[in-house]
Amino acid sequence: MRGLRDCALVLIFTAAGLAGAATASARLEFVPTLDSSLAYSSARFQADYALPSATTRTSQTSSSGNAYLFASGNLGFSEIPGLWITPTLEVEYVGADTLLNIEDEAFLFNQSLNLYYLLGFNYRLNRVWGLKAKGFGRSEYAAETKDETLASGLYNYQDAGGWAEASANYRLGWPMRLRAGYKGYGRRYPHYTSLVSEYESLVNTQTALKGEYPKNILVNEFWLRQEMTCGGLPLLCNLEAHLKLVDYPEQYALAVDGTQTDRLRHDNYFDLSLELPFLINSYQQLELDYGYRLHTTNQSVYDQSDTLPNGEPNPVFLAGYYDYYQNYLRLLYNVNFAFSLAGFSPRASVSLAFQNRQYTLRPSRQQTDDSGTGGEYRFDAPHWENLVDLGLTWRQPLFARWFNLFLSFHVLSQKSNTTVEDNASYNFNYNTFTAGTAVSF
């Protein structure tokens, strides 16, 4: 697979560079980081408003093994204090059913494999200024059904790009840090073409389709992050503004009649986030997070599947179908217990998150009969989604602090005011239970 080949090339060049650096340096400092786990998980997906004619799975239970590896080597050189070279490799395989977001919609996949590799540097110029610059690649393999292989998944993609960030430490009454960064990358879907994708069904094909790979994207991201302590309180305050610009070099915006215009699709994401971690005592920590997102695009939807009551075709053009804003709120509680089991103190965390997404121009769609086909657009009731996410985790070190047994339980429930679902589920429950071992140091 191409991702494995790219990963091998990164590791080869990294090893060659490290060998050269070691011979040129009087002293080489190596600080490894490792986080790995082997686990067994069980997942259950249950969709509401399941239609008899649905082409996607509406109810599924699966169990399988999972594996995760994060390995990073931080390398410092005595000749250049403050400079660290940071090769990183991350691999994750999930064999049970998992939810993945594809352009802001949740899809259920039978299994997935993610490879992420990074090489760059961190350089602390002095006590005030710092700089990071890194190149990265990512390969995502995902199979939707059991008869689909990881190598040929429709939503498989490869990323290639880099990012850079500058930071400054200063004081205005209490310690602060300002970080500014940029990331640019390209994402390619090698198997998602206009001839086999649902994108073709949205286009009035009276003329030849333009663009062979409509899902490929070019991304530019900019962020500004302010971190500070709050005087003598054990409270941090992190505020971030994030702008993401997404260009589709092979997807054209649609006209009212469903034909493709000469304008390429362009999306904007603007995010504001606030994080408030609070240290209750030496054993307990509480964190409150809030996030706001605004998404706009020049792409619309041309629905050719809609019909009149008498069964005649009734194509509908939906401008602003993808535009939305959302609010996100999460409460996280971490605790290191004072008592010991097997000579070590267990750790636990509980998280509860709520997200509300409001589509400003997308109408909801209501089922009008029990046939499993049809439904009507409600332009007076724009589509909305509410998502509740509850997570519980327990970790127990055994033999050493770096070896853990862990249990996790995750409950995710999404509801909306749309009761007719054609391609993706807007109303579902997704529960997972995972037990495994982890090595972290």
Q: Note the pLDDT of residue 148.
A: 79
Tell me how crowded residue 252 is: count the other CB atoms within 10 A of its CB.
Answer: 19
Q: Note the pLDDT of residue 375.
A: 72
Q: Torsion angle, CA of 3/219/361/104, rounded to 10 degrees?
A: 30
What are the 10-residue block averages of pLDDT along the chain, 441 residues in total? Answer: 43 44 59 92 82 56 93 87 92 90 84 95 92 96 83 92 96 91 97 84 80 95 94 89 98 93 96 96 95 97 78 85 97 94 92 97 80 72 96 93 93 90 75 94 85
Of 309, 308, 346, 354, residue with least CA distance to 330: 354
Task: Report d(CA 279, CA 95) in Å as an integer.
Answer: 37
Q: Which residues contact 299 (CB under 8 A, 6 or more apart)?
A: 248, 251, 253, 254, 265, 267, 321, 322
In terms of Cβ atoms closer than 10 Å to its own Cβ (0-12, 13-18, 19+), residue 171 is exposed
* pTM > 0.85: yes or no: yes
Q: Domain of 84: which CATH number?
A: 2.40.160
Q: Note the pLDDT of residue 24.
A: 46
Q: Alpha-carbon Rg of the chain, whole angstroms?
A: 24
Report how many domains make up the chain. 1
Task: Report d(CA 226, CA 243) in Å as an integer.
Answer: 15
Query: What are the C-alpha distances in Å from 353 to residues 287, 289, 327?
Result: 12, 9, 11
| Residue 395 belongs to domain spanning | 2-440
| DSSP SS3 for 86 | coil
Q: Which residues of 219-237 are buried (b: 16+ CB within 10 A; e: fewer)?
A: bebebebebbeeeeeeeeb
Q: Note the pLDDT of residue 275.
A: 96
DSSP letter, residue 53: T
**Ramachandran bin of 57, using left for φ above 0, alpha for ψ from -120 to 50, beta for the remaining angles:** beta
Q: Which residues of 109-138 are buried (b: 16+ CB within 10 A; e: fewer)?
A: bbbbbbbbbbbbebebeeeeebebebebbb
Task: Kindly state the greatest CA–CA separation across the chain.
Answer: 83
Q: Note the pLDDT of residue 12.
A: 36
Q: Note the pLDDT of residue 422.
A: 58
Q: Where are the beta strands (DSSP E) in 298-418?
A: 301-303, 316-318, 324-336, 347-366, 376-398, 400-416
